[in-house]
Amino acid sequence: MNQLQLKEQLKQFLIEDIGRGDRSVEAIFAPTDRDEGVFLLKEAGVVCGLWLAPMIYDLLGGDVTFTSLVAEGTQQSAGTAIAEVRGPIAALLTGERLILNLWQRMGGIATATKLAIDTLADPTTRVCDTRKTVPGLRELDKYAVTQGGGFNHRFGLDDGIMLKDNHIAYAGGITQAVEQVRRNTGHMIKIEVEIETLDQFKEAHDCGVDIIMLDNRTPAEIKQFLKYNKKQLTTEISGGVTPQNIRQYAGCGADYISLGYLTHSVTALDISFNSKSNGKI
């Protein structure tokens, strides 16, 4: 992750939140007022993004001592104190919401990823994400997936070639689309083709693509299609997989299963920040 780019992004997040100034803090506390606080996990989940807090405090002027109490990417129980801070009250309170917003979203993604892997219970199939992320948060969203034990799909359109239904329709078919790509692309770029029928699977297989995505297929259909994977091409399941039915895809034989819901339907992990004292330190 590009640290310079991330720092600039966090700076913009703070500018958005603070505006012309934190009126609540400025009306009560002097710059010299100090206190300490603790971040508490209010429900069980995977802790993610702890390292962002020191970067945010530094942007607010520094002089904050941040201590992680748990390891990044670990499952923790409700009520666990995950971090402590000590420093100017202004920095602690002004930075509170941005830190919680990022931690809660990232923790929710990491927790959902871990749950998907545990529910699938098939180490031969890797769980991965998609590009269905909030604009501006893709790197953090995808990082959170890895902390839950998952893997990343494409970060952007420049990562590889994926020929989906509309690419294929406009090109006139799978074979035509792949041939056109081969004419215009170097040998270092992988090609993935999305298919929905057995005939499409066979056509993509015979075209010599690198990856075949089985889109919105049932577990039974996937098993049937993979019988024709004579070249042992990499295969991916995508579409129609939910937390409720993911277990049904165990043992299908695909190499990957990509889950859009990990990042487009995030349930935030509940975390709170509380002062550790009733007075200033």
What does the pLDDT read at residue 1?
Answer: 75
Q: Phi and psi for 253 in degrees, rounded to 5?
A: 100, -5
- Of 141, 192, 194, 203, the catalytic one is 194
Q: How far is CA 251 from CA 84, 247, 248, in A?
A: 44, 9, 8
Catalytic hit among 7, 58, 84, 97: 97
Domain residue ranges of the chain, discontinuous segments joined by +? 3-112+267-275, 114-264
Kindly tell me the burial class for residue 236, based on how many C-beta atoms sit within 10 Å of its own C-beta (0-12, 13-18, 19 or more): buried
Amino acid at site 100: L
Nearest residue to 146 (alpha-carbon basis) of 99, 109, 171:
109
Asked if residue 144 lies in contact with residue 110, where contact means CB atoms within 8 angstroms, the answer is: yes
| Alpha helix stretches (DSSP H) within the chain | 3-18, 23-28, 52-59, 89-94, 96-120, 138-147, 165-171, 174-184, 198-207, 219-226, 261-264
Does 215 qualify as catalytic in the annotation? Answer: yes
Burial class (CB in 10 A: 0-12, 13-18, 19+), 50: buried
pLDDT the model gives residue 152: 98
Beta-bridge partners for 211? 192, 234
Q: Is 97 a catalytic residue?
A: yes
Is 194 annotated in the active site?
yes
Does the annotation mark 34 as catalytic?
Answer: no
Residue 214 CB burial class (10 angstroms; 0-12, 13-18, ≥19)? buried
Query: Which among 23, 42, 164, 227 is annotated as catalytic?
Result: 164
Under CATH, what is the fold of the domain 3-112+267-275? Aldehyde Oxidoreductase; domain 3 (3.90.1170)
- What residues in the chain have per-residue pLDDT under 50? 279-281
pLDDT at 279: 47
| Distance between CA atoms of residues 134 and 153, nearest Å | 15
Can you read off the two tokens belonging to residue 63? 């002089």
pLDDT at 281: 41
Question: Could you identify the residue written with the tokens 């941005």?
Answer: 98
Catalytic residue at 11?
no
Domain 114-264, CATH class in plain words: alpha beta
Nearest one of 96, 87, 1, 103 to 46, comparing CA atoms = 103
Which of the residues 126, 132, 138, 202 is marked catalytic?
132
Q: Which of 215, 221, 255, 270 is catalytic?
A: 215
| CA 131/CA 138 separation, integer angstroms | 8
Chain-centre distance of CA 209, in angstroms?
Answer: 27
- The pLDDT of residue 278 is 59
- Residue pair 192/213 in contact (Cβ under 8 Å)? The answer is yes
